[in-house]
Structure 1
Amino acid sequence: MAWCQEGQQRSHFFPKKNIRDRLIFCRKYSEWTAEDWGKVIFSDEAPFRLFGASGKRLVQRRKGERYHQSCVMPTVKHPDTIHVWGCFSSKGVGSLTILPKNTAMNKEWYQNTLQQQLLPTTQQQFGEEQCIFQHDGAPCHKAKVITKWLGDQNVEILGPWPGNSPDLNPIENLWSILHKY
C-alpha cells in the first residue's frame, strides 16, 4: 500500500493594502449569481515539471519490499519545467499553450497568447454573447499595450483583481489536478 504526502499547508502574509483590495473585490462581486459567474473566463499560468513530482513523497512498504517497483520513486536532479497558460469557464476548458523554452513571459508573448488562445476560446464558448475575462496582476497582464489591445478587442475585464490572490481564482483547482498527473 502506497500513500503520498503533498507537503504542509502554507498561508500568505497579506499586507494591509492586499487585505483592503481583497475586501473591496469581494464586496464588489458579493451579489453576483451563478449566472453572472458563468460569464467569466478564468485564466492563469502555471509551471509543470516534466519528470517527477514536486513535494515530498512518503511510501509505506511491508518487510521485504524495500526495492519493490511500487515502493521506489525515480528522480532526476534538475527536472525540466515548462510554463503553461490556460483558461476555462463554466462552458468548458480552453486550449493550453506552452511558453517556449528560454522565452520570457512578457507582454509580446502574452498578447500573442490572448490572440491565438483566448479569442478563439471565447468565440467557441460564448459566440456573440459577452463574456468577462479574468487575469491576475502579473506585470505582463497589466502592461498598457495589453490593456489597450483588450479594449480594442472589446474584452471586458473582471477586476480589479487583488494582488496575491490565487485562492480567488478557480483555475488553481484545475492546476492542482493536473499537477497530480
Structure 2
Amino acid sequence: MARCSIVLENALFFTKLLLDCYIRDRLIFCRKYSEWTAEDWGKVIFSDEAPFRLFGASGKRLVRRRKGERYHQSCVMPTVKHPDTMCVWGCFSSKGVTILPKNTAMNKEWYQNTLQQQLLPTIQQQFGEEQCIFQHDGAPCHKAKVITKWLGDQNVEILGPWPGNSPDLNPIENLWSILKRRVDKQKPTNSDKLQEVIMKEWVAIGPEVD
C-alpha cells in the first residue's frame, strides 16, 4: 500500500493538465488524507471498471526495434477493426482481490447488484468486523441517489470526496495494467475464452497483492 502514499505525494504534478475545479478537488482530497499511514490505506477497498478486448488490444504495447525492422513480424501486433470488448468490475485491498463479474450494462441497477453480490461478501471475508472504507469514482452510476442511499443503509463508509478525472490516484489502475498484460499473453480468441482467462489471471494476481 506504499503506492498510495507515493500517488498522493506526486498528485500535484498532474494538476497543471486539469481544469480548475479538478485541481481544487484534488487538493482537497490530498490534504484530507496527507497524514494517513500505510495502516490507514490498508483499510481501503479500491474499485473500478475496466475494458478488455480480444486479440491483444487491451493495452499499449511498446516495441524496441533495430533499423529496418519496422515491419518485422516480431515487431508487429495484429489487430482487428472492431474487436469484441468485455467490461468488468473489480476491487482489491491490502488483504486481496475479489471476483470480477461481467458488466453487460453499466447502470445503477447493475451497479447495486454488483455491490450486493461482490462488495458485501468481500468486506465480510477480508475485514469481518474490522473497520474498512470503500473507494469508487464519480461515474454516474456510482453517484446515483439510490446507490448513495443503499451504501448508507449498509453502513459502508466511502473514501472521499473522490476528485473527478483522477484515475492516477487509484492504485487499481496499476492492477488493471498487470492483468491486461497477462490476459494479452494468453491470446484468447473468443469472448468465452476471454472471460475465462480474465478470471484465471485475476485470481492468480491475488497472492501478489497480499
Taking structure 2 as the reference length, what is the TM-score of the superposition?
0.66
How far apart, CA to CA, are the structure 2 residues paired with 1:99 and 1:110?
A: 12
Runs of 4+ in 1 over 4 A off after TM superposition: 1-16, 54-69, 97-102
Cα pair distance change 1:173/1:65, threshold 3 Å: closer
Q: Which deviates more from structure 2 when the two are superposed, residues 134-143 or residues 56-65?
A: 56-65
Distance in 2 separating the partners of 1:118 and 1:48: 21
| Partners of 2:5 and 2:38 within 8 A in 1 | no
Bigger proportion of residues as helix: 2
How much is the aligned-residue C-alpha RMSD, in angstroms? 6.9
Per-residue CA deviation, residues 12-37 of structure 1 (Å, 9 max, x unaligned), is 99899xx1110011001111111111
Going from structure 1 to structure 2, the CA distance change for 1:121 and 1:180 (only over 3 Å counts) comes to closer
Q: 1:74 Cα shift?
A: 2.6
Instruction: Choose 1 or 2 for highest CA Rg.
Output: 1
Q: In structure 2, do the counterparts of structure 1 residues 112 and 72 end up closer, same or farther at CA, with 3 Å as the change threshold?
A: same
Residue aligned with 2:7, SS: coil
Shift of 1:98: 9.5
Change in 2 beyond 3 A, CA 1:86/1:5: closer
Aligned partners of 2:8 and 2:94: how far apart in 1?
31
Contact 1:5 1:56 in 2 (8 A): no
Q: CA deviation digits over 1:34-67, x for unaligned, max 9? A: 1111100000011111222256656566899898
Alpha carbons of 1:4 and 1:69: their partners in 2 closer, same or farther (altered >3 Å)? farther
Shift of 1:76: 1.7
Q: Which residue of 2 aligns with 1:175?
A: 176
C-alpha distance after superposition, 1:97-149 (max 9, x if no partner): 99988943000000000011111111111011121000001010011100110
1:9 Cα deviation (Å)?
A: 20
Label 1:3 to 1:81 Cα distance change in 2 as closer, same or farther (>3 A): farther
Q: With the length of structure 1 as denominator, give the TM-score of the two structures.
A: 0.76
Structure 1 unmatched ranges of 5 or more: none
1:6–1:56 contact (8 Å) kept in structure 2? no
Asked if the contact 1:3/1:60 (under 8 Å) is kept, the reply is no
Q: Residue 85 of structure 1: CA displacement?
A: 0.5
Q: Distance in 2 between matches of 1:114 and 1:37?
A: 21
Aligned to 1:83, the other structure's residue is in SS state: strand
Q: Secondary structure at the match of 2:103?
A: coil
Contact (CA 8 Å) 2:47, 2:92: kept in 1 or not?
yes
Measured at CA, do residues 65 and 15 of structure 1 come closer, stay the same or move farther in structure 2, by a change above 3 Å?
closer
Q: Which runs of 5+ in 2 are unaligned?
A: 17-22, 179-207
Aligned residues: 175
For 2:43 and 2:79, locate their aligned partners in 1 and report how far apart those are by CA, in whole Å: 42
The verdict on how the C-alpha distance between 1:2 and 1:148 changes in structure 2, with shifts beyond 3 A counting, is closer
Structure-2 separation of matches of 1:63 and 1:146: 55
